[in-house]
Structure 1
Amino acid sequence: MKLTQYKYKEETPPNYDELKKSANRMANWKERLAAVEELGKWKTEQTISILSNRMKNDPVYQVQEAAYEMLQNFGEDVEMPERNENELIKDTDKVLVRIKKSLPADHSYEDFKAKLQKMRSDIYDTYKGAKGDEFEAWLEARWKAAPVRTRRK
C-alpha cells in the first residue's frame, strides 16, 4: 500500500468539537470519513485518540483505513486493521426480519428498503458504506431470505 504524505499542524483544530461529533456520528459513514480526513491535518493527543478509536472500532472499513493512514502519517506505530467480514452491527438480521414483518405481506423490496432507511439509518448507512456497489444485491438477498409475515390464528 502506497502511503501518501499529508501536511499537518501540531495544534488543535478550531472546529475540534464539531469534528469530534462528526467522527462519532454512526448514522453517516461519509461524514465520519470526512471528519477523519480533516482530523488528519491536526496532530494533537486528542486528534490521535479519535483517529485511533475510528481505526479500531469503525464498522466501515474505508473509515478505518483512512484513520490508519492519518496515524501513519503522524508517525504513530499502528497496524492496519483487519477487514471485518462478519456482522457489522449486532443483530442486523433480527432487525431486518422485524422490519419485513412490520410491512404488509405484499410489500415490495423498495418498501422494505425505505422503511429500513427511515427506522434504522445506522444499519442502512453502515452496510451501504461497507458493501459499496454490492449493497443493493446484499440487501435484496437479505430481504428475500427473511421470513414472510404470517397471520396468527
Structure 2
Amino acid sequence: MSKKIIKNELPENYEELKKAANRTSSWRARFNAIEELGNYNTSQVIDILNTRLVNDPVYKIQELAYRILLEFGEDVQLPAPKKFEVIKGANKVFLRVKKSLPADHTVEEFAAKLKRMRIDVYDAYEGEKGNDFNTWLENEWKNLKK
C-alpha cells in the first residue's frame, strides 16, 4: 500500500469542496469532500476539518475528520458519539411530520414527507444509522403513534 501524498496547497476545486463539506442535505457529499480535502494540509482545510469534527451530526464524518487531523499532526480529541438525538429537536420534527399526515398514513409516507420537509434531519439520521436506518425510522414512527 502506497503512502498518501499530502500537499501543502489548496486544491483547484477548493470552493466547491468547501461547500460540499458543509452541505447539510447530504452526509455523503460531506464525507467525500472531507476525504478529498484530507489530501491538502492547509490552514483553511484544517479549519473545515475542525468544524466537521466538532459539529457534524454524523459520527463517521467526525471520525474521518479526526483521523485526517491526526495525520496532519494536529492535537485533537474525538468527541463521544451522541447517545440520543443526533439533531437537537428531531423528535419535535418527527411529531410535526406525523401530525401533517392523515391518521392512517404508512411509514413510507412518513419517511417521504420527512425527507421533503427536513432533508437535513433525514440525511443526518440516515448517515448515522447506516444499514439500520429504515428499521430505526420505523421504530421512531411507531413510538410517535402511541
Same fold (TM over 0.5): yes
Residue correspondence of structure 1 range 4-83 to structure 2 within 5 A? 6-83=4-81
Are residues 81 and 113 of structure 1, via their aligned partners in 2, closer, same or farther at CA, if it must alter by over 3 Å?
A: same
In structure 1, the gaps of 5 or more residues are 149-153
Amino acid at match of 1:64: Q
When the two structures are superposed, what TM-score results if normalisation uses the length of structure 2? 0.94
Question: For 2:75, what is the secondary structure of its paired residue?
Answer: coil
CA positional deviation for 1:83: 1.0
When the two structures are superposed, what TM-score results if normalisation uses the length of structure 1? 0.90
Deviations, residues 98-150 of structure 1 (Å, cap 9, x unaligned): 111111111111111111111111111100100112211111111111147xx
Larger Rg: 1
CA positional deviation for 1:78: 1.3
Amino acid at match of 1:47: V
Give the structure 1 partner of residue 88 of structure 2.
90
Q: Matches of 2:64 and 2:123 in 1, distance apart?
A: 18
Q: Matches of 1:7 and 1:67 in 2, distance apart?
A: 17
Q: Matches of 1:127 and 1:46 in 2, distance apart?
A: 28
Amino acid at match of 2:50: S
Deviations, residues 16-46 of structure 1 (Å, cap 9, x unaligned): 1111110000110000000100111001110
Give the structure 1 partner of residue 100 of structure 2.
102
CA positional deviation for 1:82: 1.3
Q: 1:116 aligns with which of 107, 114, 117?
A: 114
Q: Matches of 1:72 and 1:86 in 2, distance apart?
A: 27
4+ aligned runs moved over 4 Å, structure 1: none
In structure 2, the gaps of 5 or more residues are none
How many equivalent residue pairs? 145
CA positional deviation for 1:6: 3.0
Amino acid at match of 1:103: L
CA positional deviation for 1:58: 0.5
Range with bigger deviation, 74-83 or 48-57? 74-83
CA positional deviation for 1:50: 0.4
